[in-house]
Amino acid sequence: MTHQTSFSRAARASVYLAVCIALTIGYSTKAAQSQDGTNPAPKVVIAAAYSEELTREATFVGRGEASAKTDLIARVTGIITEMVVEDGASVNEGDVIFRIEPDTYQAELQAQQAAVQRADANVKLAEIELVRKTELLRREAIAESELDIAQANAAVAEADLLAAQAALREAELNLERTNITAPFDGRIGRSTISLGALVGPSTGPLATLVQETPIYVTFSLSEPQLLGVLERLETGMDELISNGASPNVFVRLPDGTLLEEPGKVVFLDNRINPATGTISLRAEFENTRRMILDGGFISVVIEALEPTLSVLIPQNAVQRDQRGDFVLVVTDQQLVEQRYVVLGPQAETAVVVSEGLREGESVIVEGLQRVRPGVEVNAVLTGTSDVN
C-alpha cells in the first residue's frame, strides 16, 4: 500500500535551484566579510520545505471479531463414537465434526415408522366403518347415534395418525442429530471432550467454531475523535459506511506488519456509550491469509478518500518551547528567523506543516545549537556537505 505520491521531479528541482541561488548569494556576502577580517558566520545544514500528495490517515486500537461464532452442543444424549476432524482444522458448512452412537435412535425411528403404519391402517378402517354406517343410516337400519360414533372414531384415527407422524419426524431429527455438523465454513477450536464420552444437551460446548473469513475488526472512538476523523478525512457519517464512498481501512498487526488487504467500515453505532463516552465502529476484512484472529488486538488505520497536497520538512528541524512548535528558517539574506508552526501527522522521517511555512523555504536541520534568531549563517544544503 502506498500512502504518498511524490510531486514531480521538476517541481522538486525548482525548489532546490532556488535554494542554491540563495546560498550562492550568501557565499558572496560571507566571502566579502572574510576579506574584511570579520568572524565567519556559523555553518548550518538546511533543508527545503517540499510538497507531496499525502493520503491522510488516523490510527486506533481495534480487536478482531469473528463474523460468525458458535458453540457446538450435543442435542441428543449418547456416547461419542467418532471425532471426525482434528482440533484446529478448517471445515466447510455441513461437514460432520462429531458422531454420537446412533443405534438407540435408529431403533426409535423404526418404532415410530411402525406406529405411523398402524395409525394409517386405523384411519382407513375408521373411514370404511364411517361409510358403512352412513349407508345403514340412509336405509334406516341403525340409529343416528351409531353414525355419530363412527364419525368420532374416524376423527380420533386421523388425530392418532398426525401424532404418529410428528413422533416419526422427531425420531428422524434425533437420528440426524447424532451427527454434529458445522453450520458454516470456519475453523474448529479445541475439543472439550474425548472419544467415548457420554454427552447430551446439558454437557456444554463440545468445541467452538469460528468463521475467519470474512472477519470484523471493532474499535471505538470518542466523540471528539470521531468528529476529528470526519474532518481530517473530509467525509461525513453516511459516507463513512457507504459502500461507494467508504474510506479504505487497513490493519497493523502487533509485530508492526501493515496488511495490504483493505477493509471497509460497515457499521457505525447510533449512540455514544454513556459508560465509556465512545461510539463503536466495525470494519470488515476478507482476511484471506487468516492473519486477523478473533479476539486479537490490532491497530486500525483509516485512510482519507483522496490524497492532499501537503508541505513537509524533516522532523529534526522542529523544536519546541512553552509557546509551541517552531523551526529556524534561513532567509534569502542568510539570516535566521524563528517561525512558529502548526504540525500535522508524521510521514516516515518527515512531518507535515499545516501552518507557518511555505514550499521552498529553508529550515535548519543541523547546527541548531550554534545559532539564534537574527544572526547571519553560512547555510549548506543537506546532502552536499557536513557541518564542521
Q: What is residue 242's predicted lDDT score, i.e. its pLDDT?
A: 64
User: Would you identify the CATH topology of the domain 44-54+308-381?
Assistant: 2.40.420
* Residue among 28, 118, 134 nearest 378 (CA): 28
pLDDT in tens, 209-247: 999 999 999 998 888 878 877 776 666 777 666 655 567
Q: What is residue 3's predicted lDDT score, i.e. its pLDDT?
A: 43
pLDDT in tens, 250-299: 998 888 888 888 888 888 888 888 888 888 989 999 999 889 999 999 99
CATH class of 210-303: mainly beta
Residue 338 DSSP label = E
Q: Would the CA dihedral through 222, 226, 227, 232 be positive or negative?
A: positive
Q: At residue 214, what is the residue type?
A: P
Residue 101 pairs with which residues in a beta bridge? none
Q: What is residue 383's predicted lDDT score, i.e. its pLDDT?
A: 65
b/e burial code for range 352-387 (CB count within 10 A of at least 16 → b):
bbeebbebbbbbbbbbbeebeeeebbbbbbbeeeee
User: Would you identify the CATH topology of the domain 75-199?
Assistant: OB fold (Dihydrolipoamide Acetyltransferase, E2P) (2.40.50)
Q: What is residue 345's predicted lDDT score, i.e. its pLDDT?
A: 79
Average pLDDT per block of 10 residues along the chain, 388 residues long:
42 49 47 52 90 80 93 96 94 96 97 97 95 90 91 96 97 97 95 94 95 93 79 69 68 86 87 87 91 91 77 92 93 92 86 91 90 89 61
Say how many CA atoms lie within 13 Å of 263 toward its Cβ: 29
Residue 55 gets the label, from left (phi > 0), alpha (psi -120 to 50) or beta, of beta
Q: What is residue 357's predicted lDDT score, i.e. its pLDDT?
A: 92
pLDDT in tens, 9-25: 444 545 454 544 454 44
b/e burial code for range 155-179 (CB count within 10 A of at least 16 → b):
eebeebbeebeebbeebeebbebbb
Domain locations along the chain = 44-54+308-381, 75-199, 210-303
